[in-house]
Amino acid sequence: MSLLLNEEQRLLRDTAREFLGARSPVSVLRQLRDTHDAQGYVPSLWREVVDMGWTAAVFPEAYGGLEFGYKGLGALFEQTGRTLAALPLMSTVVLGGGLLAEAGSAAQRDTWLPRVIRGETLLALALEERPRHDPATVALAAREENGAWRLDGEKWFVLDGHVAAQFIVAARTSGAPGDRHGVSLFLVDAASAGVTIERTVMIDSRNAARVRFDAVRCGADALIGAIDEGFAPLDAVLDRARIAAAAELLGVIREAFDRTVAYLKERVQFGVPIGSFQALQHRAARLYVEIELLDSCVAAALTALDRPSATREDIALLASLAKARASDVGERALNEAVQMHGGIGVTDELDLGFFFKRARTLQQSFGDGAFHRSRYAALKGF
């Protein structure tokens, strides 16, 4: 299977670039930040995204999806990175919808997937409980009580958690934190008694939340998949999120690089554009090579998601490769972008700071470079 986009995927990418450039430039994110917007995204923009079919891209036609594939969705994420569009696409489509499609019962899929596709509900994955990503260290307790479930614990960094209507909660039903066996998934209404949501505005002005579950009760039908066997579908969906985050980070990096190259051509010092200085040319050239290599890693990972013959290990390896490289290149590229802009690079007046902060957040999301290098080595048997 080719790593290149086909004609339909290129059309989707180009349409997304034009649409987001016109409807969601960086100034929209700046306004959301400066006005302390309660929702942290623009509902009318999200409605347009839904109408364009972005939420349907990877879901089966039986639920109203388009089955367009992850290469197409990855192209969309790259374009959201270029404009820093604040959309609940990761939380609702890749994570929430992905887990319901992967492990949900027929009734759960029939109920929720059409709503996700039509933009009628927002979902959020409640997973993290520590400062660093480690999905096996789930400690939030779930235990059976009179044919129902009781959840007690706290989750951090719940993406779009303050606007979600439903949470998919990773809970410990047996074993100890660190054990992969014993993790179960539950669908919990955000309005349930005992659920407390505290919004957290991240450094990149995007949304997350700290969610507390205090004796939260849900019915037996809230369980997603098999009891104690939630880690496998969770890890599979997290790999899709890691790849999508790498694609978005690629978009952030490309846009920052393009803006930096344009600045090198415009900024004059000693009577000549600073882009004529050989030292800066060498730094830009090295970055260009790194970005192209990252592009290939992301393309390979997205292609594997759409390839029927790809094994679970194939996808896991490529996901960690893409996310590790995106995290490392993102740190290097945005540092260079700020330095090449000189003093203005650290001012809020310049949009570059928004790209810098978004890159740092994406770098840590779903595992940083160190996490994924370690995971890649473990998958290889080292």
pLDDT tens track, the chain, 382 positions: 677 788 888 888 999 999 999 999 999 999 999 999 999 999 999 999 999 999 999 999 999 999 999 999 999 999 999 999 999 999 999 999 999 999 999 999 999 999 999 999 999 999 999 999 999 999 999 999 988 999 999 999 999 999 999 999 999 999 999 999 999 999 999 999 999 999 998 999 998 999 999 999 999 999 999 999 999 999 999 999 999 999 999 999 999 999 999 999 999 999 999 999 999 999 999 999 999 999 999 999 999 999 999 999 999 999 999 999 999 999 999 999 999 999 898 899 999 999 999 999 999 999 999 999 999 999 999 9
Please give the residue range of the domain that contains residue 42: 7-121
Helix axis angle, 312-341 relative to 369-379, nearest 10°?
150
Same domain, 220 and 236: no
Q: Last residue of a domain, which of 228, 251, 268?
A: 228
Is the same domain home to 239 and 357?
A: yes
Neighbours of 106 (CB within 10 A): 7
For residue 374, with 0-12 CB atoms within 10 Å meaning exposed, 13-18 middle and 19 or more buried, which class applies?
Answer: middle
Model confidence, pTM: 0.96
Q: What is the dihedral of CA 86, 360, 326, 331, to 10 degrees?
A: 140
Please state, as a whole number, how many other Cβ atoms lie within 10 Å of the Cβ of residue 245. Answer: 28
168 located within any domain: yes
Judge if 221 and 270 occupy the same domain.
no
How many structural domains comprise the chain?
3
| pLDDT given for residue 170 in this prediction | 98
Backbone angles phi, psi at 119, to 5 degrees: 75, 25
79 in a structural domain: yes
pLDDT value of position 146: 87
Are 299 and 334 found together in one domain?
Answer: yes
| 222 and 237 inside one domain | no
Q: Give yes or no: residues 245 and 137 share one domain.
A: no
Q: What is the pLDDT of residue 356?
A: 97
Q: What is the DSSP letter of 225?
A: S
In this structure, are 222 and 245 located in the same domain? no
Same domain for 156 and 84, yes or no, is no
CATH of the domain at 207: 2.40.110.10
Within-domain flag for 1: no
- Measure the CA–CA gap between 325 and 353, rounded to whole angstroms: 21
For residue 9, the model assigns a pLDDT of: 87
What CATH number is given to the structural domain containing 110? 1.10.540.10
d(C-alpha 343, C-alpha 34), whole Å: 23
Would residue 213 count as lying in a domain?
yes
- Which of 187, 206, 228 finishes a domain? 228
Residue 172, pLDDT score: 98
CA–CA gap between residue 205 and residue 291 (Å, rounded): 25
Last residue of a domain, one of 228, 249, 266: 228
Positive or negative CA dihedral for 24, 354, 340, 78? negative
**Which one-letter amino acid corresponds to residue 334?**
L
Euclidean distance between CA atoms 118 and 114, whole angstroms: 6
CATH number at residue 335: 1.20.140.10
Q: How far is the C-alpha of 41 from the C-alpha of 224, rounded, in Å?
A: 28
3-state secondary structure of 376: helix
Looking at the fold, whether 223 and 328 belong to one and the same domain comes out as no
Both 32 and 117 in a single domain? yes
Is 30 inside any structural domain? yes
Phi/psi at 52 (nearest 5 deg)?
Answer: -80, -5
Residues 112 and 30 both lie in one domain = yes
Same structural domain for residues 289 and 277?
Answer: yes
